[in-house]
């Protein structure tokens, strides 16, 4: 049994499940973030407060962190194995016809992780008291961050890369779970595309609006 | 036409290799790629130098012996063919052609463009069979198979075991190869009986041999000379989960 | 003549195999574990035999020159595999399959062997199906068959145009199972360079590890050659370019008689030669002739593109000469007719060595879709190779060397004239007579390997159970190995100017020109002179680079070509000896006034088995008279 648990396919299965779970978290986060566009701070802060205190959400938070850790650590582990699988590379660049970003998941993933860490420093660590700040006024903190152009550029770039990551991830997770179907797989690809555009675009609207239109 | 060839030369598994440049002055567009290499080798032998070693046999795209990484593509730039079927009409006069061996840890270079693909045999030995002794088979028509399944099994079974999928994959994964065999048997009632043992044994062996992991990039499918589909990999995954 | 004992069992034809199996000696399981068997070659017959023998409990050692057993040239067979299942209820039976084979072989095969091949054909299909070979099926889930090779029943099982591949992968899987169980040890990338005899019995081989160059000794209680045919003697053929006769030839020089070497099948529909460096002629399945019409221009040297030649200026020569069978005449007839037209100056294409195979009318009648469904993959393959789209313009085809009916002489037990040495599959001569019918090679190879040899070999091994493991330290191994190494060094020491391939190509041309589809005494005698001249040149001017102790593909080729010179001579002598036309062997002197083959049953109803008499000495002919108890020898007519 231990062999089957640590098989390459099992690892990928776990990674795909974790990834899919993370996919469900993004729309929730986006929904709350969009309240940043309101001129008063109350709805956003209430939502943030709710997310920080509601027991079920607290449990989900643990699951979420679990998923992030598994997704990232298995991702890195599998990638290292992959590098070991080709100790001597080719001189001519591979020209196989594949979607460009599927080749760079580890890199888009790494950049997203970097952003995540910045994000934690800015908010999450404030909430749990590791970093100084006012956990009751995330609205104000967000607004002041979006006033920094460099932050906005980093933010937008990261979300663009998130989009590329999501597009391959969405389809890929289904394939890894063994869900490949003559009719449904093309549909999944379209949904993946829509999802991979809408979610990052939704997040991007906030700094763009605040930066250029306020 | 004139071509500049950059070919990986390596004396044996134990020595370091490097690229050597060869000028070919009269390549006919009617030649096949391997015939162009034959012509080069003829010249090299007549000069007394060591000819380029490469695997090849049937030269009609079915034995799976030949395979080289040509200008960034396993089996060259034309889809759905093996190197032996690659015609020189697809190359331009004056072009530089890079020819490399398959690169993967489980496929060590033996000499020049020849790699050791016995890892594929080892995977098949682990479980790529149906356990039936000679003479023990039931009447052929007592096993009924839906035509659709049988056709699909055939589409998976036409894998020639050349290794292009591993060569193309950025992770040097053998999932397409393994999934083709798993699919063939998974789709046939004869193969269902030992399906669980088979998939576990073959995947274990694949992992053990040091192939990379599948990241669903699809380069294998794009380069497979027999157009084996990614749906096979999904089926392999399903079969694997069923074996838990 | 006394030397040949074909050991045909008594009884009526249909009971011979049953009677044989009932009375043959057996080896008990405990003794099987002590007996070693070497199998050379991993095609349908070799890998089939190795796995069946492994299942029985013998210690089996299998060798192939490729990097994997899955690459043996059985893989390339396209059309299908025959069996007398009579699933179509179209009147087929074991007898009819047997009769078609014996008639197709122009009554030059051994009746009892052919009947047995037909008899085990059904078991072969059962076994492959159980192994998971995806044969074509009907919507009800039963196996589908098609009519193939001009027979009147539908008995050919198939997997699209890749039946050989699918069967081979089936055999490979059963071989793998035995490897996993430890019953079979696989030695890939090994070439057998000689046979070792101890006290006149086959006891082992000398092989070269093609990766390290190491010369290895392997001992066994029996040796099985499943090394395929020698069609590459023509250089350009439909065979894999590394296919060779060396193992069989070495066995011949050690005492195994070689039978009917001149019976070589030329396949009518291969892609013509496109350039001078070409190494291989790709076969286009014979099934194309079901719908394609073969023609040449009526006017000599007409170089217009096929589509520009109007109907009335086309000569559909097969339909003209053979109105009953038309484009579906057997392979040898179609091949010769194509050669005849091209030699007369009517050939098409740059070289004039091609005829048109035109689908225009079929597409007009059935629609492009229907043709695509039937031959889509073949049309694609043709386009890949030539760049020509056969939906728009005629395909060009020409005959090519394909299958060798001749091979090592074997008795009913498939044993050669060397005790303990067996030859199975294409490597032996036994079942196809002077011409092989389509889809019967897979059938025969599989039958030999899986169902016949594993029964007959017991009869020999039963008397060997007291023989201990064969030690490879014996002087016989020592001597043979020494000779092998000497010969390899000889190739390297010549240090001339020409490559082995260039000699091979020239030898092939001589064979094709004088001993191909059409032969005559004058040409054959000329060929003997040319072969010997070229052979002398070879031993003086060969260039092999590198060393023995490394991967050396030039050295491999040199050995194979050197053997081909000797086999070529025998082949020509056999063709000279056979003063009749039969099957694939067509002697111009022996034909009817309207150009058809003229058989001579009075004088030539025998198997010509040749005994090697030593370097430079003429080989000794032994005749195995063919007695036909069940069938009457008839003239083949396809008019």
pLDDT (0 to 100) of residue C67: 98
CA A44/CA A125 separation, integer angstroms: 18
Cα separation, C181 vs C423, in Å, equals: 26
CA-to-CA distance for A160 and A165, rounded, in angstroms? Answer: 9
Structure tokens at B81: 């063919």
CA dist B226 and B80 (Å) reads 6
| DSSP letters for C593-625 | TTS-B---HHHH-EEEEEE--STTSPPEEEEEE
- If we measure between CA atoms, which residue out of C79, C406, C353, C80 comes closest to residue C231? C406
CB C395 within 8 A of CB C388: yes
CB C265 within 8 A of CB C405: yes
Superfamily designation of domain B117-242 = Alpha-helical ferredoxin (1.10.1060.10)
Sheet with C190-198: list strands edge to edge.
Answer: C190-198, C201-209, C215-219
What residues 57-76 of chain C have any CB closer than 8 A to a CB of chain B? 66-71, 73, 75-76
Cα distance between residue B197 and residue C288, in whole Å: 42
Question: What would the two tokens of residue C619 be?
Answer: 């080989």
Dist CA C118 CA C121 (whole Å): 5
Q: Answer yes or no: do C71 and B184 touch at CB < 8 A.
A: no
Give the domain-ending residue among C378, C400, C422: C400
**C416 within 8 A of C251, measured Cβ to Cβ:** yes
Whether residues C501 and C373 fall in one domain: no
User: What pLDDT score does C2 carry?
Assistant: 54
Per CATH, the number for B3-111 is 3.10.20.30
Residue C429 CB contacts under 8 Å (≥ 6 apart), including other chains: C259, C260, C263, C405, C406, C407, C408, C409, C410, C607
Query: Which chain C residues touch B83 with a CB distance below 8 Å?
Result: none
Element at C36 (helix H, strand E): strand C36-40
Contact: C211, B110; criterion CB under 8 Å: yes
* Alpha carbon of B55: minimum distance to chain A alpha carbons (Å): 19
| List of residues 6+ apart from C230 with CB closer than 8 A | C243, C244, C245, C248, C261, C404, C407, C564, C567
Label residue A1 by pLDDT band (50, 70, 90): low
Mutate to test the interface with A, among B171, B173, B211, B224 (most CBs of A within 10 A): B171
Q: What range does the domain containing C360 cover?
A: 268-400
Q: Which residues does C620 contact at the CB level (< 8 Å), separation at least 6?
A: C610, C611, C613
Q: Are C394 and C480 in a shared domain?
A: no
Is residue A79 within 8 Å of residue A15, measured between CB atoms?
A: no
Interchain CB distance below 8 Å, B59 and C240: yes
Whether residue C340 is contained in a domain is answered as yes
Whether residue C483 is contained in a domain is answered as yes
* Catalytic entry in C289, C331, C360, C396: C331
C-alpha–C-alpha distance, residues C209 and B188, integer Å: 38
**Does position A4 have pLDDT exceeding 90, yes or no?**
no
Q: What distance in Å separates the CA atoms of residue B128 and residue B156, rounded to the nearest whole number?
A: 13
CA distance B115 to B163: 10
Q: Count the Cβ atoms, other than its own, within 10 Å of residue C594.
A: 7
- Same domain for C375 and C487, yes or no, is no
Check which CATH number belongs to the domain holding C294 and give it. Answer: 3.90.700.10
Terminal-residue alpha carbon distance, chain A:
59
Instruction: Count CA within 13 A, CB hemisphere, residue A211.
Output: 16
Q: Quick check: helix, strand or coil at residue C223?
A: strand
The answer for C 154-193 residues in CB contact with B (under 8 A) is 159-160, 162, 164-166, 169, 172-174, 176-177, 179-180, 186, 188
Cβ-nearest to C127 among B110, B125, B137: B137
pLDDT at residue C147, rounded to an integer = 86
**Chains B and A make contact, 3+ CB pairs within 8 Å:** yes
**Length of chain C in residues, anyone?**
639
Q: What is the 3-class SS of chain B, one letter each residue?
A: CCEEEEEEECCCCCCCCEEEEEEECCCCCCCEHHHHHHHHHHHHHHHCCCCCCCCCCCCCCCCCCCCCEECCEECCCCCCCCHHHCEHHHCCCCCEEEEECCCCCCCCEEECCEECCHHHHHHHHHHCCCCCCCCCCCCHHHCCCCHHHHHHHHHHHCCCCCCHHHHHCCCCECHHHHHHHHHHHHCCHHHHCCHHHHHHHHHHHHHHCCCECCCCCCHHHHHCCCCCCCHHHHHHHHHHHHCC
Residue with tokens 């997203």: A112
In sequence order, the β-bridge partners of residue C608 are C623
Record: contact C123-B45, CB cut-off 8 A:
no
- Give yes or no for a contact between A139 and A44, defined as CB atoms under 8 angstroms apart: yes
Q: Which pLDDT score is estimated for C552?
A: 97
Count of other CB atoms within 10 angstroms of residue C24: 15
- Alpha-carbon gap: B117 to the closest alpha carbon of chain A (Å): 14
Chain B, nearest residue to C386 by Cα: B30
Strand partners, C201: C198
Closest partner CB to C130 (pick from B126, B132, B150) = B132
Tell me: pLDDT of B31 over 50: yes
Mean pLDDT of chain A: 92
C-alpha torsion angle, residues B226, B232, B236, B241 (rounded to 10):
180
- Inside any domain, residue C421: no
Alpha carbon distance B55, B36 (integer Å): 14
Q: Domain holding C588: CATH number?
A: 1.20.58.100
Which residue among B61, B114, B147 places its CB closest to the CB of C551?
A: B114
Alpha-carbon distance of C255 to C258, in angstroms, equals: 9
The pLDDT-based confidence of A3 (bands split at 50, 70, 90) is confident
Q: Which residue on chain B is closest to C238 by alpha carbon?
A: B58
Taking CB atoms and an 8 Å cutoff, what residues of chain B touch C136? 150, 154
Domain residues of chain B, as ranges? 3-111, 117-242
Tokens of residue C216, six digits: 């290895």
A82/B170 Cβ within 8 A: yes
Which residues in chain C are contacts of B106 at CB distance < 8 A?
none
Tokens representing C537 are: 């040149």
pLDDT digits (tens, 9 = 90+) for A157-175: 999 999 999 999 999 999 9
Chain C touching partners, 3 or more CB pairs below 8 A: B
Question: Residue B214 pLDDT > 80, yes or no?
Answer: yes
Residue C184 lies in a domain: no
Nearest-CA distance A20 → chain B (Å): 15
Chain A residues in contact with B241 by the CB 8 A cut-off are: 13, 178
pLDDT in tens, A127-158: 888 888 888 889 999 999 999 999 999 999 99
Which candidate, C52, C4, C639, places its Cα nearest to that of C324?
A: C639
Q: Of B106, B115, B119, B132, which Cα lies nearest the Cα of B190?
A: B132
- Same structural domain for residues C618 and C485? yes
Q: Which residue has the tokens 């169902």?
A: C451
If asked whether residues C611 and C488 sit together in one domain, one would say: yes
Nearest chain C Cα distance for residue B1, angstroms: 14
- Chain position carrying tokens 């089939």: C48
Q: Determine the Cα–Cα distance for residues C146 and C161; give it in Å rounded to an integer.
A: 12
Strand partners, B18: B9
What is the rounded average pLDDT of the residues B97-122? 98
The reply to whether B203 touches chain A by the CB within 8 Å rule is yes
| Residue C546 falls inside a structural domain | yes
Task: List pLDDT tens digits, range C448-497.
Answer: 999 999 999 999 999 999 999 999 999 999 999 999 999 999 999 999 99
Q: Pick from B9, B98, B212 the residue to mutate for testing the A interface (most A CBs within 10 Å).
A: B212
A residues 73..92 contacting B (CB < 8 A): 78, 81-82, 84-92
Q: Has C331 been annotated as catalytic?
A: yes
The answer to whether C238 touches C282, Cβ cutoff 8 Å, is: yes
Residue C71 in tokens: 């690459």
Point out the residues of chain C with pLDDT beneath 50.
1
Residue C272 lies in a domain: yes
Q: Which residues of B touch A92 (CB under 8 A)?
A: 69, 71-72, 98, 100
Tokens, residue C561: 């070509």
pLDDT of residue C1: 42
Establish if B77 touches chain A: CB-CB under 8 angstroms: yes
Q: Which residue of A has its CA nearest to B209?
A: A85
Could you tell me if A129 lies within 8 Å of chain B, comparing CB atoms?
A: no
DSSP-derived 3-state class of residue C551: coil
Q: Report yes or no: B19 at the A interface, CB cutoff 8 Å.
A: yes
Residues of A in contact with B200 (CB under 8 A): 3-4
Residue C572 belongs to a domain: yes
Nearest to C87 among B78, B129, B141 (CB): B141
Split into its structural domains, chain C has a count of 2
Rounded to an integer, the average pLDDT of A34-62 is: 91
DSSP C141: S
Among candidates B81, B135, B143 on the partner chain, residue whose Cβ is nearest the Cβ of C384: B81
CA distance C217 to C193: 10
Q: Which of B65, B130, B143 sits opposite C173 (nearest CB)?
A: B130
Residues of A in contact with B237 (CB under 8 A): 9, 12-13, 175-178
Residue A128: the pLDDT is 84
Q: In the listed set C400, C432, C460, which residue is the last one of a domain according to the structure? A: C400
Chains C and A touch (3+ CB pairs under 8 A): no
Residues A123, A116 contacting (CB under 8 angstroms): no
- Chain C positions touching B118 (Cβ under 8 A) are 67-68, 188
Strand-pair category, C201-209 with C314-315: unpaired
Q: Do A82 and B230 touch (CB under 8 A)?
A: no
Which residues in chain C are closer than 8 Å to B132, comparing Cβ atoms? 127, 130-131, 174
Q: Which chains neighbour B (Cβ–Cβ under 8 Å, 3 or more pairs)?
A: A, C
pTM of the full predicted structure? 0.96
B59 to C52: CB separation less than 8 angstroms, yes or no: no
Q: What is the mean pLDDT of residues B73-92?
A: 96
């Amino acid at each position: 049994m231990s062999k089957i648990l640590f098989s390459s396919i099992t690892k990928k299965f776990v990674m795909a499940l974790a990834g899919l779970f993370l996919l469900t978290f993004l729309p929730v986060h986006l929904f709350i973030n969009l309240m940043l566009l309101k001129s008063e701070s109350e709805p956003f802060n209430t939502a943030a407060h709710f997310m920080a205190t509601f027991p079920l959400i607290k449990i989900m938070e643990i699951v979420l962190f679990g998923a992030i850790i598994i997704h990232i650590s298995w991702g890195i582990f599998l990638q290292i194995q992959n590098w070991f699988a080709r100790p001597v590379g080719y001189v001519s660049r591979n020209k196989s016809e594949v979607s460009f970003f599927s080749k760079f998941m580890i890199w888009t993933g790494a950049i997203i992780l970097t952003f995540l860490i910045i994000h934690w420093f800015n908010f999450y660590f404030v909430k749990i008291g590791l970093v100084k700040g006012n956990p009751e006024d995330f609205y104000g903190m967000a607004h002041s961050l979006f006033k920094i152009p460099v932050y906005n550029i980093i933010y937008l770039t990261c979300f663009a890369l998130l989009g590329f990551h999501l597009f391959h991830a969405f389809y890929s997770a289904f394939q890894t779970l063994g869900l490949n179907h003559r009719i449904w797989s093309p549909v999944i690809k379209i949904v993946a595309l829509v999802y991979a555009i809408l979610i990052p675009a939704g997040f991007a609207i906030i700094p763009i609006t605040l930066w250029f239109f306020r | 036409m004139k071509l500049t060839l950059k070919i990986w030369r390596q004396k044996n598994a134990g020595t370091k290799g490097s690229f050597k440049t060869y000028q070919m002055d009269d390549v006919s567009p009617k030649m096949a790629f391997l015939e162009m290499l034959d012509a080069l080798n003829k010249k090299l032998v007549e000069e007394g130098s060591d000819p380029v070693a490469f695997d090849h046999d049937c030269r009609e795209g079915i034995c799976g012996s030949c395979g080289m990484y040509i200008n960034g593509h396993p089996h060259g730039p034309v889809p759905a063919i093996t190197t032996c079927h690659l015609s020189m009409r697809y190359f331009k006069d004056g072009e530089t052609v890079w020819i490399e061996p398959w690169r993967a840890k489980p496929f060590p270079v033996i000499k020049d463009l020849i790699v050791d693909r016995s890892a594929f045999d080892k995977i098949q030995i682990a479980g790529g069979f149906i356990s039936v002794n000679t003479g023990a088979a039931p009447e052929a028509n007592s096993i009924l198979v839906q035509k659709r399944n049988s056709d699909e099994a055939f589409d998976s079974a036409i894998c020639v075991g050349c290794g292009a999928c591993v060569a193309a994959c950025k992770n040097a994964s053998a999932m397409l190869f393994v999934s083709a065999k798993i699919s063939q048997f998974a789709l046939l009632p004869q193969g269902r009986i030992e399906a669980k043992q088979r998939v576990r044994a073959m995947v274990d062996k694949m992992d053990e041999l040091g192939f990379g992991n599948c990241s669903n990039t699809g380069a294998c499918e794009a380069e497979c000379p027999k157009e084996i589909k990614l749906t096979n990999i999904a089926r392999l995954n399903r079969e694997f989960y069923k074996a838990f | 003549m006394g030397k040949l004992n074909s050991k045909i069992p008594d009884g009526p034809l249909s009971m011979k195999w049953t009677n044989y199996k009932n009375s043959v000696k057996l080896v008990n399981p405990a003794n099987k574990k002590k007996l070693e068997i070497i199998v050379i070659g991993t095609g349908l017959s070799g890998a089939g035999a190795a796995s069946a023998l492994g299942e029985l409990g013998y210690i089996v050692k299998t060798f192939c020159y490729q990097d994997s057993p899955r690459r043996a040239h059985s893989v390339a067979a396209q059309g299908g595999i025959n069996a007398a299942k009579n699933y179509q209820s179209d009147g087929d039976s074991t007898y009819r399959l047997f009769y078609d084979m014996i008639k197709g072989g122009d009554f030059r095969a051994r009746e009892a062997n052919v009947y047995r091949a037909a008899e085990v054909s059904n078991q072969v299909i059962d076994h492959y199906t159980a192994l998971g070979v995806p044969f074509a099926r009907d919507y009800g889930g039963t196996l589908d068959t098609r009519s193939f090779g001009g027979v009147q029943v539908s008995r050919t099982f198939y997997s699209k145009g890749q039946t050989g591949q699918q069967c081979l992968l089936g055999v490979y899987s059963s071989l793998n199972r035995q490897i996993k169980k430890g019953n079979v040890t696989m030695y890939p990338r090994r070439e057998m360079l000689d046979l070792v005899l101890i006290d006149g019995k086959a006891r082992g081989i000398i092989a070269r590890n093609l990766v390290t160059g190491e010369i290895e000794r392997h001992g066994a209680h029996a040796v099985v050659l499943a090394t395929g045919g020698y069609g590459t003697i023509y250089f350009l053929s439909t065979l894999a370019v590394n296919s060779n006769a060396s193992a069989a030839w070495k066995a011949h020089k050690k005492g195994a008689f070689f039978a009917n070497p001149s019976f070589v099948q030329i396949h009518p529909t291969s892609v013509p030669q496109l350039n001078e460096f070409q190494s291989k002629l790709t076969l286009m399945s014979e099934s194309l002739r079901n719908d394609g019409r073969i023609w040449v221009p009526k006017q000599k040297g007409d170089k217009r593109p096929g589509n520009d030649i109007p109907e009335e200026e086309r000569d559909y020569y097969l339909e003209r000469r053979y109105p009953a069978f038309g484009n579906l005449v057997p392979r040898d007839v179609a091949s010769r007719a194509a050669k005849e037209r091209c030699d007369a100056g009517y050939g098409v294409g740059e070289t004039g060595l091609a005829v048109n195979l035109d689908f225009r009318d079929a597409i007009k009648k059935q629609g492009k879709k229907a043709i695509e469904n039937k031959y889509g993959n073949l049309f694609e393959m043709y386009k890949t190779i030539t760049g020509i789209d056969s939906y728009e313009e005629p395909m060009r085809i020409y005959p090519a060397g394909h299958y060798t009916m001749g091979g090592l002489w074997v008795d009913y037990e498939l044993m050669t004239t060397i005790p303990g040495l067996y030859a199975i599959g294409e490597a032996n001569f036994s079942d196809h007579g002077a011409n092989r019918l389509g889809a019967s090679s897979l059938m025969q190879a599989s039958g030999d390997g899986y169902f016949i040899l594993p029964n007959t070999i017991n009869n020999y091994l039963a008397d060997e159970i007291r023989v201990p493991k064969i030690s490879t330290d014996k002087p016989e191994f020592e001597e043979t190995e020494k000779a092998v190494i000497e010969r390899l060094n000889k190739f390297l020491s010549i240090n001339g100017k020409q490559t082995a391939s260039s000699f091979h190509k020239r030898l092939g041309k001589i064979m094709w020109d004088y001993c191909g589809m059409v032969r005559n005494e004058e040409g054959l005698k000329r060929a003997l002179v040319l072969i010997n001249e070229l052979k002398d040149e070879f031993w003086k001017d060969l260039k092999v680079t590198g060393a023995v102790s490394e991967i050396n593909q030039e050295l491999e080729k040199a050995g194979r070509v050197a053997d081909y010179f000797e086999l070529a001579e025998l082949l020509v002598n056999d063709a000279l000896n056979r003063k009749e036309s039969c099957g694939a062997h067509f002697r111009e002197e022996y034909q009817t006034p309207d150009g058809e083959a003229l058989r001579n049953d009075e004088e030539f109803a025998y198997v010509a088995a040749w005994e090697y008499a030593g370097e430079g000495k003429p080989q000794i002919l032994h005749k195995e008279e063919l007695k036909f108890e069940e069938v009457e020898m008839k003239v083949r007519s396809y008019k």
